Structure 1
Amino acid sequence: MTADHDADDKLLDDETLEKLQAMEARAYVAFDAGDLAEATALFGELIELTPELPNLHYMRGLAHKYLRDWPASLQDNLRSEQLRDAFDEASAWNAGIAATGAGDWAEARRQWTRCGITLPEGEGPIDGNFGVACVRLNPWSSGETVYMRRLDPVRARVENVPLPESGFRFGDIVLHDGASTGHRSHGERQVPVFNAMQRLQQSDMATHAVFVRCDGPEDIAALRALTLPGIGLVEDWTESVRHLCLRCSYGTPHQHDDDRGDDETRDDDDHWESERNLGIAAQGRTAVEKLMAVWTAAGRGRVLEAIEQREHPLPDPEPGQVWWLGHEEEQPV
Structure 2
Amino acid sequence: MHRRAPCPTIKASSFVRYAHAPVSPLPDDPEALEADAYSAFDKGDLQRAARAFDALLGIEPESADFHYMQGLTQKYLRNWARSLHHNQRALSLGSEPNDAATWNAGIAATALRHWREARRHWRNAGIDVADCDEPINHHYGNVSIRLNPDSCAETVFAERIDVVRARLLNVPLPESGHRFGDIVLHDGARTGERQWGDSRVPVFNALSRLHVSEYRTFVVFVRAATLRDVDALLHAIAPGIGMVEDWTTSIRHYCMRCSYGTPHTHESSGASPWQPERNLGIAAVDLASVEDLLKQWIHGSPDRHFDGLANRDCELPEPTAATPWWRGPDDGEIETA
TM over 0.5: yes
In the alignment, what sits opposite 1:175?
A: 185
**Matches for 1:141-180 after TM superposition, within 5 Å:** 141-180=151-190
Structure 1 position 234 matched with structure 2 position 244: yes
Could you tell me how far apart the structure 2 residues matched to 1:58 and 1:319 are?
A: 24
What amino acid sits opposite 1:223 in the alignment? L
Q: Deviations over 1:29-54 (max 9, x none)?
A: 11111111111111111111112210
Rg comparison, structure with higher value: 1
Q: Using a 3 Å threshold, how does the CA distance of structure 1 residues 112 and 58 change in structure 2: closer, same or farther?
A: same
Could you tell me how far apart the structure 2 residues matched to 1:185 and 1:259 are?
A: 22
Structure 1 position 75 matched with structure 2 position 77: no
Deviation at 1:319, TM superposition (A): 5.3
Q: Deviations over 1:266-310 (max 9, x none)?
A: 76xxx2111111110000010000000001001220001111111
Q: Deviations over 1:32-89 (max 9, x none)?
A: 1111111111111111111221010000111101101000000000000000233210
Structure 1 position 56 matched with structure 2 position 69: no
Q: Is the 8 A contact 1:120 1:128 kept in 2?
A: no
What amino acid sits opposite 2:301 in the alignment? G
Q: Deviations over 1:129-161 (max 9, x none)?
A: 110000111111221110000011110000000
What amino acid sits opposite 2:69 in the alignment? M
Structure 1 residues 94-103 or 111-120, which shifts more?
111-120
Runs (5+) with no aligned partner, structure 1: 1-17, 261-265
**Matches for 1:236-255 after TM superposition, within 5 Å:** 236-255=246-265
In the alignment, what sits opposite 1:315?
A: 317
Deviation at 1:220, TM superposition (A): 1.4
Structure 1 position 281 matched with structure 2 position 291: no
Could you tell me how far apart the structure 2 residues matched to 1:106 and 1:121 are?
A: 6
In the alignment, what sits opposite 1:135?
A: 145
Q: Is the 8 A contact 2:119 2:131 kept in 1?
A: no
In the alignment, what sits opposite 1:292?
A: 294
Structure 1 position 95 matched with structure 2 position 97: no
Deviation at 1:256, TM superposition (A): 2.3
In the alignment, what sits opposite 1:3?
A: none
What amino acid sits opposite 1:56 in the alignment? F
Q: Is the 8 A contact 1:101 1:200 kept in 2?
A: yes
Structure 1 position 258 matched with structure 2 position 260: no
| Number of residue pairs aligned between Structure 1 and Structure 2 | 307
Q: Which has the higher contact order (CA 8 A, sep 6+)?
A: 2
Q: Using a 3 Å threshold, how does the CA distance of structure 1 residues 319 and 240 change in structure 2: closer, same or farther?
A: closer
Could you tell me how far apart the structure 1 residues matched to 2:296 and 2:97 are?
A: 59
Deviation at 1:173, TM superposition (A): 0.4
- Candidates 44, 53, 58, aligned match of 1:43: 53
Structure 1 position 205 matched with structure 2 position 215: yes
In the alignment, what sits opposite 2:114?
A: 104
Runs (5+) with no aligned partner, structure 2: 1-27
Could you tell me how far apart the structure 1 residues matched to 2:120 and 2:47 are?
A: 29
Could you tell me how far apart the structure 2 residues matched to 1:74 and 1:84 are?
A: 15
Q: Is the 8 A contact 1:144 1:249 kept in 2?
A: no
In the alignment, what sits opposite 2:18?
A: none
Fraction of identical pairs, as percent:
48
- The alignment's C-alpha RMSD in Å is 1.9
- Candidates 33, 42, 47, aligned match of 1:32: 42
Find runs of 4+ consecutive structure 1 residues off by over 6 angstroms.
none
Could you tell me how far apart the structure 2 residues matched to 1:214 and 1:120 are?
A: 51
Q: Is the 8 A contact 2:102 2:124 kept in 1?
A: yes
In the alignment, what sits opposite 1:302?
A: 304
**Matches for 1:321-332 after TM superposition, within 5 Å:** 321-327=323-329, 329-330=331-332
Could you tell me how far apart the structure 2 residues matched to 1:143 and 1:244 are?
A: 11
Structure 1 residues 99-108 or 288-297, which shifts more?
99-108
- Candidates 123, 139, 147, aligned match of 1:113: 123
Q: Is the 8 A contact 1:160 1:235 kept in 2?
A: yes
Q: Using a 3 Å threshold, how does the CA distance of structure 1 residues 314 and 74 change in structure 2: closer, same or farther?
A: same
3-state DSSP class of the match of 2:56? helix
3-state DSSP class of the match of 2:279? strand
Structure 1 position 193 matched with structure 2 position 203: yes
What amino acid sits opposite 2:71 in the alignment? G
Could you tell me how far apart the structure 1 residues matched to 2:133 and 2:109 are?
A: 14
Question: If each structure's helix is expressed as a fraction of its own residues, which one has the higher value?
Answer: 1
What amino acid sits opposite 1:255 in the alignment? T
